[in-house]
Amino acid sequence: MSILGVGEATQRKASTDWFRGLARLDRSELARCCSPEAVERLRHHVALCRIGQPVPGGLTPEQFVEVVLDLRANELEWERAWLSAAVKADDLVLAGQMEEAAHTLNAFAQDCPWYALREAALREASVLPRD
């Protein structure tokens, strides 16, 4: 069961799909996508999916490109960190160190600014066998 409500989880998934499609565009295509509506949608995406990095309004096309690419690079960095934490926790579980595995996942969740990755870590920590 998700920590989020069904509606919020669905909104985050749809927003993330939109954002990742946008971030796959090359710089010139991305700049052409810049509009007040796209900036507002990006602002909504960040407010919905990420802690502590509001996006200013009124971005120029160049600023829009940089914000999108920086956000996607940050998200990828945290996805790699999540994978590392999950592998470490799995290794700890295999070694019978359940408390340390839970600590690893909970520490990741506490530090990560991306709600979906935090939720995944908390979900995995909650299903670990207890010592």
Q: At 54, is the secondary structure helix, strand, or coil? A: coil
Block residue for tokens 């565009």: 25
pLDDT (tens digit, 9 = 90+) per residue, 78-92?
Answer: 999 999 999 999 999
Residue 24's CB: how many other CB atoms inside 10 A? 10
Residue 53's CB: how many other CB atoms inside 10 A? 12
Once rounded to an integer, what is the mean pLDDT over residues 47-57? 93
Give how far the C-alpha of residue 79 lies from the chain's centroid of Cα atoms, to the nearest Å: 7
Spans of all domains in the chain: 6-126
d(CA 127, CA 41): 35
| Reported pTM | 0.88
Is 51 within 8 Å of 113 (Cβ atoms)? yes
The DSSP output letter for 25 is S
Q: How many helices (H) and strands (E) does the chain have?
A: 6, 0
pLDDT (tens digit, 9 = 90+) per residue, 4-43?
Answer: 555 888 899 999 999 999 999 999 999 999 999 999 999 9
> Cα-flanking dihedrals φ and ψ of residue 68, to 5°?
-60, -50
Per this entry, what is the length of the chain? 131
Is 79 within 8 Å of 49 (Cβ atoms)? no
What residue type is assigned to position 107 of the chain?
A
